[in-house]
Structure 1
Amino acid sequence: MLINGLQNEPHLLNQFVSTIALNHSDHPNKLDYSNQVFEYVQNPTGFTLNSLIRAHSKSSSPHLSFYYYNQILQSSNLFIYLDNYTFTFLVRACTQILSRECGFAVHAAVIKHGFEFSRYVQCALVQMYAELGLFSLSRRLFLGIVDPDLVLQTTMVSASAKLGKVIFARKLFDEMPTRDLAAWSAIIAGYAQCGKSKEALDLFHLMQREGVMVNEVVMTSVLSACSHLCALDQGRWAHGYIERNKIRMTVTLGSALIDMYAKCGDMGKAMEAFWGMRERNVYTWSCAMSGLAMNGSGKECLELFALMKEQDVQPNEVTFVAVLRGCSVVGLVDEGHRHFESMKQVYGLEPRLEHYGCMVDLYCRAGRLDDAIEFINNMPVEPHAGAWGALLSACKIHGNVELGELAFRKLVELEENNDVCRFHGLGWGK
């Protein structure tokens, strides 16, 4: 365009901006470039503006969708107007932002401009309210829709299942005249995520009997259910099913496979799955490291962490939980402390409660109770029950009555009327 002197040609500029926006919403730099080029578009089309609204609604800058929405509102061009696509993308932007006020405002605009009966907008609103934690509004909106289609029904099943409303989700699912792969995936994932693993596996077997094609998303939920039940035999069968049916081994599915074998105690198969993966990300590495630490192989966990860094994979918060547990298993207090300090100093990661709990456990396992209580007292966040529970257990082992009584009192304060506290205190000091 620049070489041929066409940079001011309206049609080409509109087409250029739309193409970049639609194809590169997951590339911030390219999306920024489309924003910059847009400033030179003197007569943007409705399609161009909708393309930018859509792109930003899926990006890391969803708030910019509203900038382009305002461009439509302020336009004097009769050929630029709001449509159902505009509001569908705006509702999705609210879902990304996770702002209830924003969601209510957009819903009001939907009604004002007469798009409340658009199926695309209705689907987006049902999902938005569910994502915002307003399930009652999501359900009310859905139940008020006459003759909801398959897409809308599947959206409601998925939204309900994600929020743990599996009874309502199952009722909707059972009433669906036809159920596609998305509906099956949603209901099975919902049961698996809320701990109803047996029901998730039962649904999977029903899905097979009905002849529905299974994909990697469903198998990830199946492996998660096997993992929760510590059902190694069923997990092995699921692994075989994946291989027999040539289901694509994605990073997510591979991580679920590693996690299943690790939680079922078969680290040999877990690591075989790990090394057999063509592609690995930080979650895959962290999953393998967590499994090693969980099964008492702290040394191997730390070796894998070193290899991960050699391969320039950036660790995240989950990685460091595994690393600290690995240090705890083999009693490497000083190394654990170095890793803990490196989270913020080297990687810019803010330690969470789990990391503080791991450090307390590390000190307690090594018998360094004074260090443990000093660490607890210096925590920038309120110590949780796991930290005090680890200290109390260590005090019992090492016979530190005074510190143990302090830990017990703190536990009671945190979890009053909790049987766990009374259990910890049984026989204390005897």
Structure 2
Amino acid sequence: SNNGKLDDTSKIFSKMPQRSVVSWTAMLTAYARSGHLVQARRLFDSMPARNEVTWNVLIGAFASSGDLEFAHQCFDAMPERNVFSWGALFDGYSQSGQFGRARELFDLLPFKDVIAWGMMLSACVQNSRIEDAGSLFDRLPEADTISWGFIIAACAQAGHFEESKMLFDSMSGRGVVVWTTLAASYGQHRNMEISFAMFQKMAQWNIVSLNAMISLYGQNGYMDEARALFDGLPEKDLVSWNAIVAGYAQNGQLHEAKELFLQMPCKSVMSWNAIVAGNAQNGASPEALELFSLMELEGDRPDEVTILAVIFACS
């Protein structure tokens, strides 16, 4: 069971001779994602050092659970906040239907970049405030295609496909970014037929849209189609390689994932995370640990996602 795995992971963590803030944060994340908030809070209180990621994990966990009062207390207690700190609390208020509190938080934001505006637009849509979204969009510093992409994606992500399509159709100049955004949003909601049809209708494709399609095929289990698209790319970038490796790993096709992984001309931490996590989640723990050792030998630094995958593999 998941509880048994978490107990085993906790025992392994407690026996670690040296624990960095990364390993502490990985264990905290494991508790938070499993809904064990009492243990998460206890672990947080016993941590010798914390960073912004640690605080954000705790805020996000309690905000998602509906305990917004404690989440806000943590937010207020943070020594320094980043956009993810604001976003975690904001999402909690938005998802619980407290649109007014979410709006107050947005108004207090010291920095309002396109991500922050997109976050607010998404909240409008999630709470069926389409008119508010429209008036907010008119206030955007630069109503460019990226901003349009955000509001369209926000509508689609919240399941408001009719509204997102209506906004899309109302655009005078639809660039490849907006086409890709809407098509990807449909695919992420398992509407692959509509997603594929939109990609087919695009006037021009670029590496971004092709990579998005490979990723969507992988997420939905269409690995033959993903591989055909990958093999047909005139040029492949790091995102192309990561998308195909992650697709095979997520679908349990570990031999194919490793074969392509070893062919990669260069690797990022995301590449390592895809292959290590894929093996760990599919029961190939020895292989996951072997790949983690190889990562260290090649001089690549693991992040919280890598550490969490290794803890999972050990359990």
| Structure 2 residue 117 is the aligned partner of structure 1 residue 90 | yes
State the Cα distance separating 1:148 from its structure 2 match.
0.9
Distance in 1, Cα, partners of 2:140 & 2:283: 57
State the Cα distance separating 1:268 from its structure 2 match.
4.7
Change beyond 3 A, Cα 1:129–1:58: farther
Distance in 2, Cα, partners of 1:98 & 1:180: 29
Distance in 2, Cα, partners of 1:149 & 1:88: 19
- Structure 1 gaps of 5+ residues are 1-25, 33-54, 72-84, 292-300, 302-322, 324-430
Kindly indicate whether the alpha-carbon contact (under 8 Å) linking 1:56 and 1:93 is maintained by their aligned counterparts in 2: no
Calculate the TM-score normalised by the size of structure 1: 0.43
Kindly indicate whether the alpha-carbon contact (under 8 Å) linking 1:160 and 1:166 is maintained by their aligned counterparts in 2: yes
| Structure 2 residue 262 is the aligned partner of structure 1 residue 240 | yes
AA partner of residue 249 (structure 1): S
Distance in 1, Cα, partners of 2:252 & 2:114: 45
**Which digits, 9 at most, give the CA deviation of each residue in 1:32-87, with x for residues without a partner?**
9xxxxxxxxxxxxxxxxxxxxxx699744554564269x9xxxxxxxxxxxxx989
* Map 1:29-428 → 2, pairs under 5 A: 29-30=79-80, 59-60=87-88, 62=90, 63=102, 64=104, 66-67=106-107, 89-95=116-122, 99-102=126-129, 104-110=131-137, 119-207=145-233, 211-215=234-238, 217-242=239-264, 245-246=265-266, 248-250=267-269, 252-261=270-279, 267-277=285-295, 278-291=300-313, 301=314, 323=315
State the Cα distance separating 1:274 from its structure 2 match.
0.8
Change beyond 3 A, Cα 1:118–1:270: closer
State the Cα distance separating 1:238 from its structure 2 match.
0.7
AA partner of residue 255 (structure 1): N
- Cα RMSD (Å) of the superposition? 3.9
Change beyond 3 A, Cα 1:93–1:276: farther
- Structure 2 gaps of 5+ residues are 1-55, 57-74, 91-101
State the Cα distance separating 1:170 from its structure 2 match.
1.8
State the Cα distance separating 1:152 from its structure 2 match.
1.4
Q: Which residue of 1 aligns with 2:44?
A: none
Distance in 1, Cα, partners of 2:174 & 2:154: 17
**Which digits, 9 at most, give the CA deviation of each residue in 1:133-163, with x for residues without a partner?**
2223212321333341122112222222222
Distance in 1, Cα, partners of 2:312 & 2:113: 44
Distance in 2, Cα, partners of 1:99 & 1:249: 34
Q: Say which one has the larger Rg.
A: 1
AA partner of residue 213 (structure 2): I
Change beyond 3 A, Cα 1:56–1:94: farther
Change beyond 3 A, Cα 1:285–1:145: same
State the Cα distance separating 1:129 from its structure 2 match.
0.5
Give the length in aligned residue pairs. Answer: 223
Distance in 1, Cα, partners of 2:141 & 2:122: 18
Change beyond 3 A, Cα 1:205–1:56: closer
**Structure 2 counterpart SS, 1:276:** helix
Change beyond 3 A, Cα 1:285–1:117: closer
Kindly indicate whether the alpha-carbon contact (under 8 Å) linking 1:88 and 1:120 is maintained by their aligned counterparts in 2: no
Distance in 2, Cα, partners of 1:276 & 1:110: 48
